[in-house]
Amino acid sequence: MTAPLAQVADIEDGHSKGFDPLGEGRDTMFIVRRGEALFGWRNACPHYDHARMAWKKDEFLTGDRARIVCGAHGAQFEIDTGLCVLGPCLGDRLTAVALEVRDGAIFLAAPYAPGLRPRMGRAHH
Ligand code: FES
């Protein structure tokens, strides 16, 4: 049996937290908690080359914690759908990470691929 990512109680209600399920040395996904609801997303912005999104460790949300925000160019995403509603990737979506909660512990509910590294040398736009 695989180990849990975390306990639900480890994530403060209304906040986000990054995780590195495969031990790649960086957070390749994050979870947002709203009450008992948990939303898992890959830490890969659809705008630009799978960019990492947190502007600071575990900080994936806007100041009012109403949306997910990408620290690179400020794209904002709905917490529950991952839809980009503001910014350069309008209409694109984050990639969901299926989660399962058992006895207060959070597990990955599906096989998990390594994080994609940003490609080097590509023009930024
Ligand atoms: S890389 Fe996320 S908004 Fe540009």
pLDDT 10s digits, 25-47:
999 999 999 999 999 999 999 99
Task: Report which protein residue has its CA nearest ligand 1's atom 1.
Answer: 48
Indicate yes or no: pTM above 0.85. Answer: yes
Average pLDDT over residues 60-68: 97
pLDDT tens column, 3-26:
999 999 999 999 999 999 999 999
As a whole number of angstroms, the distance between CA 86 and CA 36 comes to 26
Q: Is 113 exposed, middle or buried (0-12, 13-18, 19+ CB in 10 A)?
A: exposed
Mean pLDDT of 113-124: 66
Tell me the best of 42, 68, 69, 73 to mutate to test the pocket of ligand 1, counting ligand atoms within 8 Å of each CB and taking the most: 73
Provide the residue ranges of all domains of the chain, joining segments of one domain with +: 6-108
Q: 6-108: which CATH architecture?
A: 3-layer Sandwich (2.102)
User: What's the confidence (pLDDT) of residue 119?
Assistant: 58
Q: Is the pLDDT of residue 83 over 60?
A: yes
